[in-house]
Amino acid sequence: MSFLERLFSPDSIALIGASKDETKLGGIILRNLLQFKGRVYPVNPKYREIMGLKAYPSSADVPGKCDLVIIMRPAPEVPAILHGLQGRTRCAVIMSSGFAETGQIGLQEEVKKISAGSGIRILGPNCMGIYNPSQRLDTFFLPRERLKRPGRGNVGIVSQSGAILSCLLGAAASSRTGVSKVVGYGNAMDIDESELYEYLAEDEDTEVVVSYIESVADGRRFLEKARILSEKKALLILKAGKGESGQAAAFSHTGRLAGRYEVFHSLLRRFNISEAMDFDGLMDATKALSYQRPGRGNRVCIITNGGGSGVLAADECMSQGLEVTSLPGPSKEKLGRVFPLYYGINNPVDLTAQVKDDDYATALEELKGDYDGFLIIVLPNVMGITEGLAEKLMASRKYLSKPLVCHIAEGGITARLTRLVERTRIPVYSSPERAVRALKALLG
């Protein structure tokens, strides 16, 4: 079992800095660790028992070796703690902040030396740690009632920032996107994005990797690992610290220089690695790639019951390099026979306010062979749209294996309809443009 395999699926965990107080970070982490499948050893000299678990005065008192040690103590104590762990673990997660990111570069260097000397690999410092739902492993210092965790799924998340990690988790949970392995690696003193990419490239549970990056220490290695990963899985990168202000902010955040964004951007392009342009773009593409297999081609068919929404979608297709080509003659003729006169039998197909649920399926089935990807636009404010639409769309998944995304506008039944449609693994978006950009992610 590889070292990172062990990090994501340990048998036993010690938490140094465990607390009884559930409002303190060491208490929140311990409470989250109570769910963990394996053994948990809280370490705190003040108590003999915490949250029903036997507590240990120091790491030296923990029986046997630990696969993983989590350190949640003030930064200046960390070197001594690491010394004490020598020979007792292969891996420590240093969650504490107060290292290079606050100017304490010497302290971080000291920790790095101890790590190299002792062979203890380090995640962090200044990081969020690990979430692996298949092991019920959750090292985050965020209470679950404050941040809902996404369920099991095929998305791996690799984030330098803990804040963005929490935002990604929140967005994944609310968009019904399940995760495989999640890691916040903070200052990346030892384990970095490149090593994590290498691991996730081989991880069976992971089909999509989302990566938030502020800075990269070894650009050549990063590109190599990113390229290999993106050949095997869908890889989506959000690079922050693009301009002067962002770079300054990134430096004081993780203590590493961000480098020139233009270079980073053009290298990603050259190697055909997908880059998201903002947070919403990242999560929208992630949901699409998590729900569906990518396809090929750039011809898009738009089926809508709102004319203006179809126009906005067609505009966005153009700016994304997708083509909204005319309906082929025979299909146009056939749809003209089955649909009322006042429907717009073009691309976008305009089913108007007189739409019925069935019409979407009729159009999809007729046009399934003519396009590379499909966008369904639903304005659920008219009587003809019901929750039954989800079933009609689900049925279409049987004869249509091409990318299909959906925009459902705000309305009385939107939340319920969205839930039902997403159950069929058709991703739903709140604006026509976001839906088109997600479709673009599926069409490569």
Distance CA 227, CA 224 (A): 5
Work out which of 11, 25, 38, 110 binds a copy of itself, going by CB under 8 A.
25
Q: Which ranges of 354-388 does DSSP label H, i.e. alpha helix? A: 357-367
Work out which of 51, 173, 257, 267 binds a copy of itself, going by CB under 8 A.
173
Which residue is associated with the tokens 């717009």? 344
Work out which of 31, 90, 233, 434 binds a copy of itself, going by CB under 8 A.
434
What is the per-residue binding string for a copy of itself in 30-69, x denoting contact by CB under 8 A? ----------------------------------------
Q: Tell me the β-bridge partners of 300.
A: 373
To which H or E segment does residue 202 belong?
Answer: helix 193-202
Which segments within 101-189 are labelled E, that is strand? 121-123, 129-132, 137-138, 152-159, 179-184
Pairing of the two strands 49-50 and 53-54: antiparallel
Distance CA 257, CA 105 (A): 13
Work out which of 34, 60, 105, 147 binds a copy of itself, going by CB under 8 A.
147
Number of H helices, E strands in the chain: 16, 20
Residue closer to a copy of itself (CB basis): 1 or 23: 23
**317-356 positions binding a copy of itself, by CB under 8 A:** 317-319, 323-324, 341-342, 344, 346-348, 350, 352-353
Work out which of 10, 133, 306, 403 binds a copy of itself, going by CB under 8 A.
306
CB 154 within 8 A of CB 205: yes
- Binding part of the chain for a copy of itself, among 35-43, 114-122, 272-280, 388-396 by CB under 8 A, reads 272-280
Distance CA 172, CA 155 (A): 9
What is the per-residue binding string for a copy of itself in 403-432, x denoting contact by CB under 8 A? ------xxxxx----------------xxx
Residue closer to a copy of itself (CB basis): 174 or 401: 174
State yes or no: residue 435 binds a copy of itself (CB under 8 A). no
**179-238 positions binding a copy of itself, by CB under 8 A:** 212, 214, 238
Work out which of 145, 204, 337, 398 binds a copy of itself, going by CB under 8 A.
145
Task: Say which DSSP state 205 is in.
Answer: T
